[in-house]
Amino acid sequence: HHYIGATWHVLKIELYEMGWNLKDGLRECLVAAAPYGGPISLLKGHNRRSPSARPQLEIYSSSGLPLASFPWKSGVVKQLGWTVSDDLLCVQEDGTVLVYDLLGGFKRHFSMGNEVSQSQVLETKIFHSPYGTGVAILTGALRFTLATNIDDIKLRRLPEVPGLQGAPSCWAVLTQDRQSKVLVANGSHLFILDNTACTPVTPPGLSPQASSIVHMCVSFSYKYLALLTDSGHVWMGTSNLKEKLSEVDTKIKTPPKQMAWCRRPKSQQPSAVVMWDGLLIVVGECKETIQYHLDDDSILVPELDGVRIISGTHHELLQEVPGACEEIFKIASMAPGALLLEAHKEYEKESQKADEYLREIKEQSLLSEAVRQCVEAAGHEHEPETQKTLLRAASFGKCFLSNFPPEQFVSMCRDLRVLNAVRDYTVGIPLTHTQFKQMTVQVLIDRLVYRKLYPLAIEICRYLKTPEYQGVSRVLKHWACYKVQQKEESDEVIAKAVSVKLADAAGIFYSEIATKAYESGRTELAIKLLEFEPRSGEQVPLLLKMKKSPLALSKAIESGDTDLVYTVVMYLKNELNRGDFFMMLRNQPVALSLYKQFCKHQEQDTLKDLFNQDDDHEELGNLYVKASYKEQRLEARIALLQSAVDEYYKAKNEFSAKTTEDEMRLLRFQRKLEEEKGELLVGFSLHDTMTTLLSVGLHKHAEQLYKDFRVPDKRFWWLKLKSLAEKEDWEELEKFGKSKKSPIGYLPFVEVCIKHHNKYEAKKYVSKVTPEQKVKAHLAVGDMEGAAEAAIERRNESEISTVLSRCSATTDHLLMERLNRAKATAVKK
Amino acid sequence: MAAWRDAPELPDFSLLKRLARDQLIFLLEQLPGKKDLFIDADLMSPLDRIANVTILKQHEVDKLYKVELKPIVSSSDQLCFLIRPRIQTVKWISDLVNADKVAGRFRRYKIIFTPQKFYACETVLEEQGVYGDVTTDEWNFYILPLDDDILSLELPEFFRDNFLEGDQRWVTTAGSALHLLQSVYGSFSKVYGIGRCAKMVYESWRELMEEGEQRTRQPEFAKVFLVDRDVDFVTPLCSQVVYEGLVDDLFRIKCGSVEFGPDVTSSDKSIKVMLNSQDKVFSEIRNEHFSNVFGFLSQKAKNLQTAYDKRRGMDIQQMKAFVSDELKGLKQEHRLLSLHIGASESMMKKKTKQDFQELLKTEHSLLEGFEIRECITYIEEHINRQVSMIDSLRLLCLLSITENGLLSKDYRSLKAQYLQSYGIKHLLTFANLRQLGLLEEQQAGETLTVMESKVGKLVNDKTVGKLTDAFSSLAKKSNFRALSKRLALVPKSGEEYDLRVPRDMAYVFSGAYIPLSCKLIEQVLERDGWTGLEEVTRMLNGQEFAVTEARNKTDAQRIVLVMFLGGCTFSEISALRFLGKERGCRFIVVTTAITNSARLLEALLDNHA
């Protein structure tokens, strides 16, 4: 522990002794280490251009275990860097960026634009922002080109820097106001470049001795900026250049190799690390600095809460000592956490003193604070033994608290188990607790998956009870996607292995795995895997992609998702020729009816073709009939009906054919009459035509229809009866009634006359009514006597009751008596 | 009947409205600035229940138009379309966009499909070359609560699309609706169902369940019954005689509200009334047989008068209290009472007439299988006299279903006469009715199996099953008579049935018939499954299922959700309310739409498409 001033100190701990064996250390290497304890890439001899001695690209874990190694065969690399998802970026001199995964698999490449490739890359920086990983390039033409997110490349060329003659003394990328900007130093001048302008800026209170800014660095959060001047002063302030936090003289005037911020989130202390050959200086708020001697060429890797120092042999972490740890471990500390730790030590020794310490804490009511401190401190410790000691103390303290919430303790124990597991030398992810919390379990699982550490990832998911969808299932899916690319194993073996492993995992989409298999050229395997997919709908898109359209169609239908069926049908419609398309539909009634629905609205003619192909004459007939009544011109209409007739005959549907022929005859008849008599008739039903004819007195014509169209007698009689009554042509009605025996009887005559308020005429027909209807008829004309007479004569109880119910007690007194008597006898019978 | 003793509380469905409203507002705000809104005609009433004009205006809707599939007059630079996912409408919008293009006019267009978008619609946009000009969104407005116990998908076309056209596009919609209910009100313990579509809906719902996160919360209802409309066509074809059903038959209830014309209001104005449990008068008579309603209403009027009469002999203080506490309520009740009296008067006028009595008599004879010849004569006369296009068709269908099809001779003669009355275009109507099994000619000779094996040779094994299903639903026999006997749907004739004191669900049809759909529900709930009903399901073409999802014993067990796929009538709802009262449980009806005989048959006419 190194103290500076009264309250501030930093701590350097060793993370790993590096597992690699580098002959020349990091000398003459292009090195890039990913933040959050990510992988390290080395390119040895990157300036070599001869094909006989190609540079070697190597990738290691943070503990120096080899992950990949291969000779570099592309162009000259200017810079290496890592993306937020552990992909390696290699920026070449010509502005091409090659992307590799962390196991050295080539993924893709992209260009930083023509301008860059023409004037070549002078310097480049890879940076991270909330929008992803970005690349900034300074070209040979001394212009900056920037891409903020390499997954969605939008190249921006920044404005010119005034007065720039050669490479600027130093520069950095900032993220401010949701924009990536470049901060450039040209001698003592400082500029901010954004999309539109180049603005000169002045850091407040920068020591006047400086004639040039030789180095700069931005903090992990982009909030702070440190500048190193040729006079050896480090200026520290906010990156918006509004506030100066401190300025320290390093007393070294040679330009450094690297500079980085070393600061915890929420810390009040600014502090930066500057590295020269063999020397590391930590600067803070006060004048004093801490100096470390370095044996070997090293690089600094800035982290969220400190700086990692990687050399050819060692990997260390330099950190501001966390508050809780300091409180507890400071010599002679009286902080509650420190006392609790003491108390627990004494307790383990079965000493009386335990009680004294405890009482001391409790007297100040600081026991819960003490427990919290111990738990927090445990989180910051890298040594499992220290972690355990602190957690035991916390657990001990918890026993004397009744309502202390257990969550913090429990989750810290869990987190530490996970952290210790991934910090292990064989895994080599030296995360701090702060970094872990910032990164989230999700991302950690992803990182393990990238490293193909599937069992560990699953173990962690299970241990942390991550919901299966985001946890175990996701890992298994990645595993399966990796598995299907293993060329040496047979389709059967892989399919079996995948299905066995994934059997009871929830939320697995086999379609994704199958897609991967297809992409690596294994169509057969893909089809096999799709068979495991329980959601038939999920199988469809890939099947289409693999040109297995019939299978895709039946799967879509199986899914019961009409929309999906539709998608396939439309796809097939465009893919196949019409004949094949129809053939395929023919075997799939669901798809066919769906397509017919579509055609009904969009392609009437296709519909006809479809029916034609199926020899579905019935439907064709219907189609023509339908078309006919949309047609305004009579001739065309009749022609359509004729087509319908032909189809109906072909369909052996004589009834429809005959009916349609009748309709054609009727239409001709209607038109003829329209022309002759000027009466609007075309389009009326037979019934309506006759009604119209009768109402205008064209009885002859109505009768002609009656005969020609085999109209039932009953209908004709009803029609004529109603129409004559309508016109109040009572004389004609009487004649009609007598013309022959009415097929509808005479009750309708009575009722229709009454309806037209002619009781007199109605009465004429009462006598003709059948005995069963007599009562009704009499009642209809209001003849109570007659009704009673008829009912009594028929000795029908219910009829007698009906009449009775219509009698009025005041006027029909006598009649009621008679009826009641008759009812009594009728009942007796 | 004020409080249903021992009946569980119903969940609060107004939450669904709030959810729908919030989402709609969010979608409208996706198109910032003033815009004109075009709404599908049949969405206007449902929309009004969710967000009225004031709310729409608050979110910068300038003018509101009904979609009429005609050229538009709008000066707005932003057009928003709120529509059902129908090809026709999308095509109309494409034409508008293209016309604007030709005229060199630049506007922003947004289509909000509800309840979901269909790939077919996007294809149309693509084919018409406007895919990039239009943004599309989905308003997941699956369910409109019409009342405390009625939820509607407001999708009348579900019936035709699914059962006639074989287009199953709405299956997932129904599944999503159930999923929505489940996610808001908790999971179900048991699911029963019958029908091909019911099965598919259940499967689609199940898939959604598996994909989504499971929420463990106390369920508010625990049993679900899914039933296809084509399991029971008889019930919706019968004349309704329970007050609410009769109001629907006569005046057409639209989205929970009805417009009473001058003959009811006895003024020169029409009045729109919401018909739900909020209307205290209505809620007391809605489930009553119409013959009781008039008496009930006049008693009510007397009571009301007594309440008014209390005023006499009051001192100033009492009067003040009366005016502020009671008078408003009384006046409201008075207004509603006079409307319902007007409606029931108008009903009595129409329904006590000879014609209606004879119509009912015929229906009852058909249900009983009695005096069929007389019925046919009656129907013939009905057709010949051109009494009513829909009623004649309805009687024909009832005849066919109850008799397992018509004799060839009868079928041809009745059909010919019908065509003479209403025109040849009804050839298509008859084709549709035949396809649905609603009106069939008894076939001698060719049996189903022959057809099946013929078709079976053409296709692979897997589809044969599906095909057989399809065919059996196409050419299925109704077996009504046997079903009726088995389930005792038609009480013995001759027995007096006191409609004022109903003894079973048959009261909704004057004691002549227990709705088949409701009887099935009763039986399955009683047996906790289909055991013992094997013969019944066989006659209904199988496709029944019962699944236990989870076991929980709460009060929710006594709330049963019944989903009708293809529509449900008010008579069925009344019957279920009765059943609930008998059993101390409550039913919530979810339906794709409220239907009745006229709506059902009109959906099968082919003169509009």
Rounded Cα distance between B432 and B421, Å, is: 18
Q: Residue A741, SS3?
A: coil
Q: Is residue A340 part of a domain?
A: yes
pLDDT in tens, B249-292: 999 999 999 999 888 887 888 888 899 998 888 998 999 998 88
Give the pLDDT confidence score for residue B607 in this predicted structure: 62
CB contact under 8 A, A589 and B470: yes
Give the pLDDT confidence score for residue A4 in this predicted structure: 41
On whether the CB atoms of residues B57 and B100 are closer than 8 A, the answer is no
Give the pLDDT confidence score for residue B82 in this predicted structure: 95
φ, ψ at A663 (rounded to 5°): -60, -40
Give the pLDDT confidence score for residue A521 in this predicted structure: 85
On whether the CB atoms of residues A506 and A473 are closer than 8 A, the answer is yes
CB contact under 8 A, B166 and A590: yes
**Nearest one of B232, B203, B602, B188 to B437, comparing CA atoms:** B232
> Which chain B residues contact residue A507 at CB under 8 A?
211
Output the CATH code of domain B145-232+516-603.
3.40.50.1910
Give the pLDDT confidence score for residue A317 in this predicted structure: 93
Q: Is residue A200 part of a domain?
A: no
Which A positions 636-695 lie with beta carbon below 8 A of chain B?
655-656, 659-660, 662-663, 684-688
Q: In which residue are the tokens 């009826």 written? A: A819
Q: Residue B3: is its pLDDT beyond 50?
A: no
Q: Residue B278, SS3?
A: coil
Tell me how far CA of residue A347 lies from CA of A328, A666, A710, B160, in angstroms: 18, 113, 115, 81
Task: Give Cβ neighbours of residue A292 (< 8 Å, ≥ 6 apart).
Answer: A12, A279, A280, A281, A282
CB contact under 8 A, A593 and B165: yes
Tell me how far CA of residue A717 lies from CA of B376, B377, B384, in angstroms: 19, 15, 10
Which B positions 177-216 lie with beta carbon below 8 A of chain A?
200, 203-204, 207, 211, 213
Give the pLDDT confidence score for residue A829 in this predicted structure: 56
Q: Residue A130, SS3?
A: coil
The widest CA-to-CA distance across chain B, in whole angstroms, is: 91
Q: What is the DSSP string of A416-465?
A: HHHHHHHHSTTT-----HHHHHHHHHHHHHHHHHHTT-HHHHHHHHHHTT
Cβ of A604 under 8 Å from any chain B Cβ?
no
Q: Based on the structure, what is the number of domains in chain A?
A: 1
Q: Is residue A705 part of a domain?
A: no
- For chain B, the straight-line distance linking the first and the last C-alpha, in angstroms and rounded, comes to 46
**Nearest one of B608, B609, B593 to B229, comparing CA atoms:** B593
On whether the CB atoms of residues B410 and B375 are closer than 8 A, the answer is no
Output the CATH code of domain B13-141.
3.40.50.2060
Which B positions 363-422 lie with beta carbon below 8 A of chain A?
380-381, 384-386, 412, 415-417, 419-422
Give the pLDDT confidence score for residue A137 in this predicted structure: 95
Q: In which residue are the tokens 């079973």 written? A: B504
What residues are paired with A217 via a beta bridge? A226
Q: What is the 3-state secondary structure (H, E, C) of A795-824?
A: CCHHHHHHHHHHCCCCCCHHHHHHHHHHHH
Give the pLDDT confidence score for residue B521 in this predicted structure: 95
Which residue blocks in B353-425 are alpha helix, DSSP H?
Answer: 354-368, 372-384, 389-402, 408-422
Give the pLDDT confidence score for residue B457 in this predicted structure: 46
Cβ of A627 under 8 Å from any chain B Cβ?
no
**Nearest one of A218, A229, A225, A293 to A256, comparing CA atoms:** A229
> Which chain B residues contact residue A622 at CB under 8 A?
427-428, 431
Q: Residue B374: is its pLDDT beyond 60?
A: yes
Distance from CA of A542 to the nearest CA of B (A): 18
Rounded Cα distance between A685 and B386, Å, is: 11
Give the pLDDT confidence score for residue B497 in this predicted structure: 81
Task: Give Cβ neighbours of residue A723 (< 8 Å, ≥ 6 apart).
Answer: A691, A694, A695
Q: Is residue A130 part of a domain?
A: no
- pTM for this prediction: 0.71
Which residue blocks in A114-160 are alpha helix, DSSP H?
Answer: 114-119
Q: Residue A396, SS3?
A: helix
**Nearest one of A807, A756, A736 to A778, comparing CA atoms:** A807
Q: Residue B454: is its pLDDT beyond 70?
A: no
Out of B168, B385, B423, name the one closest to residue A718 (CB): B385
On whether the CB atoms of residues A275 and A300 are closer than 8 A, the answer is yes
Q: Is residue A637 part of a domain?
A: no
CB contact under 8 A, A602 and B168: no
When scoring B201, B374, B382, B424 by the number of chain A Cβ atoms within 10 A, the one with the most, hence best to mutate, is: B424
Q: Is residue A553 part of a domain?
A: yes
The widest CA-to-CA distance across chain A, in whole angstroms, is: 140
Which B positions 464-523 lie with beta carbon below 8 A of chain A?
466-467, 470
Q: Which residue positions in chain A have pLDDT lower than 70?
A: 1-8, 46-51, 827-829
Q: Is residue A489 part of a domain?
A: yes
> Six-digit token pair at B307?
């309440």
- Locate the chain B residue with the closest alpha carbon to A567: B119
Give the pLDDT confidence score for residue B148 in this predicted structure: 92
> Which chain A residues contact residue B431 at CB under 8 A?
618, 622
pLDDT in tens, B466-520: 444 444 444 456 789 999 999 999 987 666 788 888 889 999 999 999 999 999 9
Rounded Cα distance between A656 and B424, Å, is: 9
Rounded Cα distance between A693 and A698, Å, is: 5
Which A positions 468-507 lie with beta carbon below 8 A of chain B?
507
Write the DSSP symbol of residue A51.
T
Q: Residue B500, SS3?
A: coil
> Six-digit token pair at B35?
């815009």
Rounded Cα distance between A16 and A482, Å, is: 30
Contacts by residues B166-170 (CB-CB < 8 Å, ≥ 24 positions apart): B166/A589, B166/A590, B166/A593, B166/A594, B166/B470, B167/A562, B167/A593, B167/A594, B167/A597, B168/A560, B168/A562, B168/A590, B168/B197, B168/B200, B169/A562, B169/A563, B169/A566, B169/A594, B169/B118, B169/B120, B170/B592
Mean pLDDT rounded to a whole number for chain B: 86
Pick the CATH number of B354-403+405-475 from 3.30.230.10, 1.25.40.850, 2.30.110.10, 3.30.70.20: 1.25.40.850
CB contact under 8 A, A685 and B171: no
Q: In which domain, by residue range, is A469 found?
A: 325-557
Give the pLDDT confidence score for residue A215 in this predicted structure: 94
B9 exposed, middle or buried (CB, 10 Å; 0-12, 13-18, 19+)?
A: exposed
Q: Residue B221: is its pLDDT beyond 60?
A: yes
Rounded Cα distance between B292 and A223, Å, is: 81
Sheet holding A213-218, edge to edge: A213-218, A224-229, A233-238, A244-249
Tell me how far CA of residue A701 lies from CA of A81, A192, A688, B182, B595, in angstroms: 98, 99, 13, 67, 43
pLDDT band for position B543 (cuts 50, 70, 90) = confident
Give the pLDDT confidence score for residue B220 in this predicted structure: 65
Report the Cα A706 to chain-centroid distance in Å. 69
Give the pLDDT confidence score for residue A49 in this predicted structure: 64
**Nearest one of A533, A538, A529, A530 to A495, comparing CA atoms:** A529
When scoring A566, A573, A582 by the number of chain B Cβ atoms within 10 A, the one with the most, hence best to mutate, is: A566
Rounded Cα distance between A374 and A379, Å, is: 9
Q: Is residue A484 part of a domain?
A: yes
> Six-digit token pair at B340?
């319902």
Distance from CA of B172 to the nearest CA of A (A): 7
Which A positions 361-400 lie with beta carbon below 8 A of chain B?
none
